[in-house]
Chains A and B, each alone.
Chain A
């Protein structure tokens, strides 16, 4: 099974709402990633978790709060977002972080977020 699942597929939220995005993989991967993709732009890395610990934060605003409760799950908690945060949020996983540049990342289908 090489699948990364993400829920929900679509999400509409107001600027005062709190919501969470969920990502799950059962490939035994110990590195998990959040990317943000604006329309017609390439994905941009937000966070990297390695062995359930936050490894990279690409200077993401604190209204985005990641969480990795176990090696299979990755959450992204959203609070007080702005309309410009509307985007496709992609989750990915890989076998191991820092694998010499050879490891491949498996991506989920993404959650399309609209902030009103």
Chain B
């Protein structure tokens, strides 16, 4: 499985944008890039996913580099409720790992009031 690398932690102030980076230099052409987050004392929650083009939804935006070796999750205005562990995950649509979510260590996001 292709691996992802994320910073261990990041900090932000409330109502400011947050850019969470993820490196995936060994990504294959068919891997989807998924982001999940886990709020304290809760199960993980889907945030967004993409393949090649940038994606937007009500929670966040996903910016994917042209070579797909990195991506950035963008929270446009962080709130205290966005404090969580953010996981960047590559999903292989085929092969022996299909159906699996392989979580890395993730980035702990702290949001200051």
Question: Which A residues contact B (CB, under 8 angstroms)?
Answer: 4, 31, 33, 42-45, 48, 50, 55-56, 90, 92, 97-102, 104-110
Asked whether, in the complex, the Cβ of A101 is within 8 Å of the Cβ of B32, the reply is: yes
Q: Which residues of A contact B36 (CB under 8 A)?
A: 105
Q: Which of A42, A50, A97 contacts B105 (CB 8 A)?
A: A42
Q: How far is the CB of A103 from chain B (nearest CB, A)?
A: 8
Asked whether, in the complex, the Cβ of A98 is within 8 Å of the Cβ of B99, the reply is: yes
Asked whether, in the complex, the Cβ of A108 is within 8 Å of the Cβ of B46, the reply is: no
Asked whether, in the complex, the Cβ of B44 is within 8 Å of the Cβ of A44, the reply is: no
B14-42 interface code vs A (CB 8 A; 1 in, 0 out): 00000000000000001110101000011
Q: Which of B85, B93, B101 contacts A105 (CB 8 A)?
A: B101
Nearest A-chain residue to B103, judged by Cβ: A42
Chain B interface helix/strand/loop/mixed: loop
Asked whether, in the complex, the Cβ of B43 is within 8 Å of the Cβ of A90, the reply is: yes
Asked whether, in the complex, the Cβ of B43 is within 8 Å of the Cβ of A110, the reply is: yes
How far apart sit A98 and B98, CA to CA, in the bound complex (Å)?
6
Counting CB contacts under 8 A, is B81 at the interface? no
Asked whether, in the complex, the Cβ of B103 is within 8 Å of the Cβ of A104, the reply is: no
How far apart sit A102 and B100, CA to CA, in the bound complex (Å)?
12
Asked whether, in the complex, the Cβ of A42 is within 8 Å of the Cβ of B99, the reply is: no
Asked whether, in the complex, the Cβ of A97 is within 8 Å of the Cβ of B99, the reply is: yes
Asked whether, in the complex, the Cβ of A108 is within 8 Å of the Cβ of B87, the reply is: no
Q: Which residues of A contact B46 (CB under 8 A)?
A: 104-106
Asked whether, in the complex, the Cβ of A100 is within 8 Å of the Cβ of B99, the reply is: no
Nearest A-chain residue to B104, judged by Cβ: A42
Nearest A-chain residue to B32, judged by Cβ: A101
How far apart sit A45 and B96, CA to CA, in the bound complex (Å)?
14
Counting CB contacts under 8 A, is B49 at the interface? yes
Q: Which of A42, A45, A55, A110 contacts B87 (CB 8 A)?
A: A42
Q: Which of B31, B34, B45 contacts A107 (CB 8 A)?
A: B45
- For B34, B41, B46, B94, the residue with the greatest tally of chain A CB atoms inside 10 Å of its CB is B46
Q: Which residues of A contact B31 (CB under 8 A)?
A: 101
Task: Please give 19 more A-B residue pairs, beta carbons under 8 A apart, in addition to A44-B103, A90-B44, A102-B93.
Answer: A4-B43, A42-B103, A42-B104, A43-B103, A45-B100, A45-B102, A48-B99, A48-B100, A92-B44, A98-B93, A98-B98, A99-B93, A101-B91, A105-B36, A105-B46, A106-B46, A107-B43, A107-B44, A109-B42
